[in-house]
Amino acid sequence: MDWVRLKSREPVENEAYIEWRRWVRRPRNPILMEEEAAKFNLQDLNAWVLAMSFTATGDNNQGAYFRDRRNPRAVWQSLVWDMDWAFDEGVHQTAQGPLRPSTDSFKVLLGDRARLFNRLFDNNEEYREAYQQYVRERLSRQLSRETVLKLMDRYESLACRHPSSSPKLMAVMKTTRAFLERRHAEYEGLLKERVREALSGARGESRPLAER
């Protein structure tokens, strides 16, 4: 496997990854969906963007990139294992000024996955429609409001019975439930605004963190 762990203390030396990263960062026009899909799994990209933006995970450039080097047609995809800043409603001081992950959910996305997403979303109508369709399907099925609130019920029950249960822990559960109760409608509005930005060309005027 080609394997690149993010936040590793070792420098990135994987030549295949370096080549893909150069491709992602290279200015080019047009941005073609089929060309990007031949290098990176776009369903995986959609899953990462939705997971991080829906849950407002501020610390989102984590995990690893991997590819099966035995397969000449293999594409890059990613693995995520750390979402400890999920449901982040705080304010982060960034190069773009103060940003709140819960409302600036697309602007706070970081790294090469974010760069690829933003370029495709801003410059390719087919991808823009594909991502919106992906979101509609996931938020009406696997991540429906009913489903996530049932999960919340389970975690609240576990928290109540846990030996370290405390008023602070239960307060976190309460704020997380409030986040999930409103998030589906809220996310729909955030995505609509992101589409408006793409169509107006506003992203070119204020580049996301991933582009810096």
The pLDDT of residue 212 is above 50: no
Query: For residue 210, which of 87, 66, 53 has the smallest C-alpha distance?
Result: 53
Distance CA(37)–CA(80), nearest Å, equals: 20
pLDDT score at 13: 84
pLDDT tens-digit profile of 179-189?
999 999 999 99
Q: Whose structure tokens read 């893909």? A: 20
Least confident window among 92-96, 144-148, 207-211: 207-211
Mean pLDDT across the chain: 91
pLDDT score at 210: 55
